[in-house]
Amino acid sequence: MAYKMLVDIDRCVGCWTCAMGCKVGNHLDDDVYRVEVETHGSGQGIDRPAGVYPDLHMWWQPVYLPSCTFCAPRVAEGLPPFCAMDCPTQALAFGDADDGQSAYAQARARVEARGARIWELDSAGAETRASVEYATAR
């Protein structure tokens, strides 16, 4: 069993529902997050695009923190993590990488078929959780 999360960057709209679903589902304190959504734009904050109007652009990246448990109690019951369940655009796919029928494996096959670039953040510095992959065909 090798659980992984695949984040399809091309489907992420930066809505933070994953973070809120995690917070509510796991009964976290108001100032505690296990996943945070970074805006890649001007660098001046959330939803601040780069460029000059009308040529504006930005993209979003849910960053899983080391405190993320991959919702182990739920997953042990066969339920998906709150974040993946609640994402309105199905940008998050979780499951056993060794099971070709898992949501993760099927989503990975789809992004590979699109020719997407797939990468992981460096979790060695303990700022992010391991076993989270990102994909984009842009």
Question: Given candidates 6, 12, 63, 103, which one binds ligand SF4 under the rule CB under 6 A?
Answer: 12
E strand or H helix at 76: helix 72-76
Bridge partners, residue 6, by sequence? 93, 133
Rounded CA gap, 84 and 18, in Å?
7
Smallest distance from ligand SF4 to CB 44, Å: 19
**Which residue in the set 4, 6, 41, 91 belongs to the binding site for ligand SF4 (CB under 6 A)?**
91
We find the least distance from the C-beta atom of residue 114 to ligand SF4, in angstroms, to be 17
The answer to whether residues 76 and 70 touch, using CB atoms and an 8 Å cutoff, is: no
Quote the least distance from Cβ 19 to ligand SF4, whole Å: 7
Q: What is the largest CA-CA distance in the chain?
A: 49
Q: Which residues bind ligand SF4 (CB under 6 A)?
A: 12-18, 22, 26, 34-35, 37, 60, 62, 64, 68-71, 81-83, 87, 89, 91-92
